Amino acid sequence: MRAYRGSRAPAALALALLLAGCGRGVTSTPGDTPNLEKWVAEVKARPAPPLPPLPVMQQFETFEYNAYALRDPFSNAFTDDGSGGGPRPDATRRKQPLEQFPLDSLDMVGTLGRGSGMVALVMAPDKVTHRVRPGTYMGQSDGRVTAVYEDRIELVELVPDGAGGWLERPATVALEDQ
């Protein structure tokens, strides 16, 4: 217990000295105020430093566009006004469930029936099996089923030709090998 009391005294003395040192310079005498006011007046009386000169604006050469009679380079030269014949996707047709998947993600897993009444079974990526017959649409390129066989489904897709029209492209989905 005695050792504890002995260590308190030097700590208290150090704290008192520290506080006494912090107090110096904080107190001001009435004689210090005129010096401060004099210094502030001198600083305010100094002339302001000159501003840097404004940068010189660069003059650009003007250009007058005179090619009004030429084709606009930003317009689509391949726009089709719809008057041309040929295949075209039906925008008013309601989409069928298998049209939300890419054709290569659909798997033919079997068939039902015989002859012209044959129905194909197609499994979608969501593991739901759908019945497909001629006239059904599948794939994301407006693929219309034209025929169902025991080992394959044949369809015709509509793909853009790059010039504003559409091309028919044959495609096949084969029976998945087990």
More reliable by pLDDT, 165 or 80: 165
Structure tokens at 121: 């079974």
More reliable by pLDDT, 17 or 90: 90
pLDDT value for 79 = 57
Q: Exposed, middle or buried by CB within 10 Å (0-12, 13-18, 19+), for 122?
A: buried
Residues 27-45: pLDDT tens digits? 555 666 788 899 999 999 9
Answer whether CATH 3.40.50.9100 is correct for domain 97-174: no
Residues 73-107: pLDDT tens digits? 777 655 555 555 678 888 888 999 999 999 999 99
Structure tokens at 40: 């502030």
